[in-house]
Amino acid sequence: MMHRLVHPVAAPFPMLLIGCVGLLLGWTVIGLAGLVRPRSVVLAGRLLFPLGALLGLALAVLAGASLLGGGIERLILPIGLPNLPMHLRLDPLSSIFLLLLGASSFGISLFAGGYFRVGEGTAPGLLCLQYHLFLAAMGLVLIADDAYSFLVAWEVMALASYFLVTTQHRIAEIRRAGFIYLLMAHVGAICLLLCFGVLQGGGWHFTFHAMRSAHLSLGWATVAFALALLGFGAKAGLVPLHVWLPEAHPAAPSPVSALMSGVMLKTAVYGMLRVGLDLLGRPVWWWGLAPLILGLFTIVYGVLFAAVQTDMKRLLAYSSVENIGMVFTGIGLTIVFAGSGLKVIAALALLATLYHCLNHAFMKSLLFLGTGSVLHATGERNLGRLGGLIHRMPWVAWLTLIGTLAIAGLPPLNGFVSEWLLLQSFLFTGHLPHAFVNLLIPMAMALVVLGAALAGYVMVKFYGVIFLGQPREAALARAHDCGWLERIGLTWLALGCVALGLFPLQVIRALGAVTHQLVGAVVPQSSSHWWLLAPVPDRSVSYEPLVFLTATLAVVLMTVLAVRLTYRQRERRGPAWDCGAGNLTARMQDTAEGFGQPIRHLFRPFFQIERELPEPTDRAPRYRVVVRERIWRLVYEPISGAVEGLANTAARLQQGRISVYLLYSFLTLLVLLAVALLR
């Protein structure tokens, strides 16, 4: 079958792009409409959010059309700087991320329509504005084609999400989270500003088009790449720049956490791809080592911290860190391959990266929304006070299970596909002409699989402690399932996970345009079997989730039938076995801390652990363990200490005595006069 690739030729009329801009404007208008009656839940929740969701769907459709068309559309709007009007561009890379934004925001917005209610800090109407501005800004980031528009959109995105994070600003912890978040976002944006400044390469044009054609020396190009890695890494949550992430995600309302984790982090990935593979032209292979190594470290770091968390949203946040690690590992591999001239394999690695982005958008949004429903139903984020919710909230529980299995990387769901692709691209590194990398790769691969396996551990902990077992608190008996809008949203995302898992081939075909754009190659497809996913033709490797699932389902059904038909036995309900000890209580179940224990034990150097152990004679023994990140002490505290020290030094300048101030003026005058005289 021919893959439908059109070579990048500017379309005469940017119809799809105008459509996208219109939809982004539509989001803005919807947001502003929320201000008409800011306190009305009905207006925001029942009308505006679902409307926004529909726009999201429309955006996904447009983006999908653009992706299949494979063309490039450009548009210049007469706003922005006087010398630099707003350049917009819709190409396959933008399209795939717009698709991601539109499709996942459809589910999230629907959910949000049912989620937000009065009395939770910010008024619904204002939330509606912030939320839709956030969406529109993310969209604009993806289609911006000059540095100024990009940065404006980038920071509006940060700002809107900051306000969303601090919805419940009365809680000091949340304020702190918001502050760290915005600070990191700003520092990241500063890096990006520098990066674009380097990228323009002296031509002094800040359109991306000019940057593509700028000729940078290797040194400057490397600087630009490093700055991009810093700037986008800070947004994506690459260790050690991830510190805002586990603070901000739990602080935000769940639909916002879902958007931030599922979509916003991907805009950083988009930026990294845009700069690393598009604006910088053909990358140098050893650039890839930085994202590769950082990504690997991030995987392990994120998943380990996820494993020891006791707050369900923090756990998911660290899991996002891990997944971002996966994505950056993929980016690193792509660059290593592309820089070494191995285009097809680079395309494979890029495919894995993009696929993982798509997957993560769906599954992490699903999980965050699931925790949102749990939070609403129980008011509890602490894993130690949850449990047994599968009985009370079957919709949430079963839909979340899909997300859990998907993110644990189990076939036939979507998480597995991208991990599979990533591992496949690792296995190709034998081709690389660099001995050092060839040695690095086995270790890298080991870390990736270790991370993937640990993710399974984390997810069992997450799901098991929240939904399974017996409720750990009496109050959980009053928990209720989520409303219909929320159900639709969750179902949409779960369906996305399943579809991405079952039809990888179709997705990969659609992604062909992107890989062609970025690395100049597409992963060839088997032409005989539409259901066969074979990444490279000269290797007989394949994966067919549909067949695979069918086989498994068939076997399971046959087993069920066989058992039912052959052994028609009664069954009885009874209390769980108590080992004869009597009075088992729900609190005797293993806890989240317990689940963290082996990890804490095994990977002690990663953690900074504070433990409070009970004495043997305690009447009310209490066990408490707090796990902190060493990163704070190793990186951030020295920085803030240094600034503090400098500030104190600067403060010595100002002692309050006017004589001293006059002396400053005097000396300044004398020194400058001398300078002027001697010049």
Partner 1 sequence: MTHLPLYQQLLDSCAALLLLLSFAMLSQRRVVALVNLYAVQGAVLAATTLLLAWRTGQDHLYVSAALTLALKVMLLPWLLHRLIRRLQVHRDTEPLLNVSGTMLVGLVIVVFAFSLAQPITRLASTATRSAIGIALAVVLLAFLMMITRRKAVSQVMGFLSMENGVLFGAMSASYGMPMIVELGMALDVLVAVLVLGVFFFQIRERFDSLDLHHLESLKEHQ
Partner 2 sequence: MNAIDWITQVLEVVVAVAAAPAFLGWLNQCRAWLQNRRAPSLWLPYRNLHKLFHKEALIAESASPLFRIAPYVVFGTMVVAAGIIPSMSTRLPLVGSADAIALVGLFAAARMFMTLAAMDVGTAFGTLGARREMMVGFLAEPALLMVIFVASQISSSTALPVITDHLASGHLGLSPGLAFSAVAFILVLLAENARIPVDNPATHLELTMIHEAMLLEYSARHLALMEWAAQLKLFNYVCIGFALFLPWGVARAHIGPIGLAVAIPALAMKLAVAGAALALIETVSAKMRVMRIPEFLATAFLFAVLGLLVHVLLKA
Partner 3 sequence: MALLLLLILPLMGAALLGITGAHRRAPEVNAAFSLGTLLAACGLAVRVIRHGDLLLGREQFFIDPFNVFLVTLTAFVGLTTALFSRPYMRIELDHGRLTPGKLRLYHSMYQLFMFTMLLALTTNNMGLMWVAMEGATLSTVLLVTLYRTPASLEAGWKYFILCGVGIAQALFGTVLLYVAAEKVLGSQGVTALLWTHLDAVKSQLEPTVLALAFVFLLVGYGTKVGLVPLHNWLPDAHAEGPTPISAVLSGLLLNVALYTVVRSKVLVEGSVHSQLPSRLLMGFGLVSVVVAALLLWRQRDIKRLFAYSSIEHMGIATFAFGMGGPIANFAALLHMTVHSLTKSSIFFTAGHAAQNAGTQAMDRIRGLITLSPTVGWGLMLGSLAILGVPPFGVFTSEFLILTTAMRTQPWATPILLAALAVAFAAIFSKVQPMVFGETTGRPLPHAPALLPVFTHLAIVLLLGLYIPHYLADWYRAAAHLIGG
Summarize as ranges the residues that interact with partner 1 (CB under 8 A): 650-659, 662-663, 665-666, 669-670, 673-674, 677
> Which one among 34, 291, 387, 489 touches partner 2, defined by CB under 8 A?
387
- Return the number of the residue (617 or 665) whose C-beta is nearest partner 1: 665
- Return the number of the residue (203 or 598) whose C-beta is nearest partner 3: 203
Helices 289-307, 312-339: axis angle to 10 degrees equals: 160
> Which one among 41, 187, 410, 495 touches partner 2, defined by CB under 8 A?
410
- Return the number of the residue (233 or 504) whose C-beta is nearest partner 3: 233
* Distance, CA of 17 to CA of 71 (rounded, Å): 11
- Return the number of the residue (248 or 454) whose C-beta is nearest partner 3: 248
Contact yes or no for 613/621 (Cβ under 8 A) = no
Contact yes or no for 364/262 (Cβ under 8 A) = yes
- Return the number of the residue (530 or 661) whose C-beta is nearest partner 1: 661
109 Rama class: left (phi>0) / alpha (psi -120 to 50) / beta: alpha
Instruction: Quote the DSSP letter at residue 629.
Output: E
575 binds, among partner 3, partner 1, partner 2, none (CB under 5 to 8 A by kind): partner 2
Least CB distance to partner 3 at residue 98 (A): 21
Least CB distance to partner 3 at residue 170 (A): 6
* Distance, CA of 666 to CA of 164 (rounded, Å): 51
- Return the number of the residue (73 or 322) whose C-beta is nearest partner 2: 322
Site string for partner 2, 481-520 (x = CB under 8 A): ----------------------------------------
- Return the number of the residue (566 or 648) whose C-beta is nearest partner 2: 566
Of 391, 594, 573, the closest CA to residue 477 belongs to 391
* Distance, CA of 529 to CA of 546 (rounded, Å): 12
* Distance, CA of 244 to CA of 178 (rounded, Å): 8
- Please give the size of the binding site for partner 2, defined by CB under 8 A: 82
* Distance, CA of 302 to CA of 233 (rounded, Å): 14
> Which one among 150, 154, 416, 606 touches partner 2, defined by CB under 8 A?
416
Site string for partner 2, 114-133 (x = CB under 8 A): --------------------
Q: Does 409 bind partner 2 (CB under 8 A)?
A: yes
Least CB distance to partner 3 at residue 673 (A): 5
CA 490 to chain centre: 18
172 binds, among partner 3, partner 1, partner 2, none (CB under 5 to 8 A by kind): partner 3
Q: Does 575 bind partner 2 (CB under 8 A)?
A: yes
Least CB distance to partner 2 at residue 590 (A): 3
Least CB distance to partner 3 at residue 187 (A): 5
Q: Does 598 bind partner 2 (CB under 8 A)?
A: yes
Pairing relationship of beta strands 85-90 and 73-80 according to DSSP bridges:
antiparallel
Buried b / exposed e over 491-506, threshold 16 CB at 10 Å, is bbbbebbbebbbbbbe
Of 313, 410, 326, the closest CA to residue 367 belongs to 313
> Which one among 11, 226, 284, 460 touches partner 2, defined by CB under 8 A?
460
Cα 600–Cα 589–Cα 591 angle in degrees, nearest 5: 30
566-572 long-range contacts (CB < 8 A, ≥24 apart) are: none
Q: Does 571 bind partner 2 (CB under 8 A)?
A: yes
Least CB distance to partner 2 at residue 473 (A): 13
Least CB distance to partner 3 at residue 128 (A): 16
Least CB distance to partner 3 at residue 210 (A): 13
- Return the number of the residue (159 or 460) whose C-beta is nearest partner 2: 460
Residue 184 burial by Cβ neighbours in a 10 Å radius (0-12, 13-18, 19+) = buried
Least CB distance to partner 2 at residue 71 (A): 35
What residues line the site for partner 3 (CB under 8 A)? 79-83, 148, 151-156, 158-159, 166, 169-170, 172, 175, 178-179, 182-183, 186-187, 190, 193-194, 196-198, 200, 202, 204, 206, 643-644, 646-651, 653-654, 658, 661-662, 664-665, 668-669, 672-673, 675-677, 679
- Sorted by sequence, the CB contacts under 8 Å of residue 189 that are 6+ apart come out as 151, 154, 155, 158, 231
- Return the number of the residue (541 or 663) whose C-beta is nearest partner 1: 663
* Distance, CA of 124 to CA of 122 (rounded, Å): 6
> Which one among 602, 642, 646, 663 touches partner 2, defined by CB under 8 A?
602
- Return the number of the residue (125 or 387) whose C-beta is nearest partner 2: 387
CA dihedral 247, 249, 250, 251 (to 10 degrees): 80
- Return the number of the residue (558 or 673) whose C-beta is nearest partner 1: 673
- Residue 327, number of CB atoms within 10 A of its CB: 31
* Distance, CA of 350 to CA of 333 (rounded, Å): 8
- Return the number of the residue (80 or 464) whose C-beta is nearest partner 2: 464
Least CB distance to partner 1 at residue 645 (A): 14
Q: Does 411 bind partner 2 (CB under 8 A)?
A: yes
> Which one among 382, 438, 654, 668 touches partner 2, defined by CB under 8 A?
438
Q: Does 25 bind partner 2 (CB under 8 A)?
A: no
Q: Does 544 bind partner 2 (CB under 8 A)?
A: yes
What are the structure tokens assigned to 372, written together? 């949102």
388 binds, among partner 1, partner 3, partner 2, none (CB under 5 to 8 A by kind): partner 2
Buried b / exposed e over 469-480, threshold 16 CB at 10 Å, is bebbbeebeebe
652 binds, among partner 1, partner 3, partner 2, none (CB under 5 to 8 A by kind): partner 1
80 Rama class: left (phi>0) / alpha (psi -120 to 50) / beta: left
What are the structure tokens assigned to 265, written together? 């982090």
- Return the number of the residue (528 or 649) whose C-beta is nearest partner 3: 649
Q: Does 593 bind partner 2 (CB under 8 A)?
A: no
* Distance, CA of 251 to CA of 258 (rounded, Å): 12
Contact yes or no for 482/396 (Cβ under 8 A) = yes
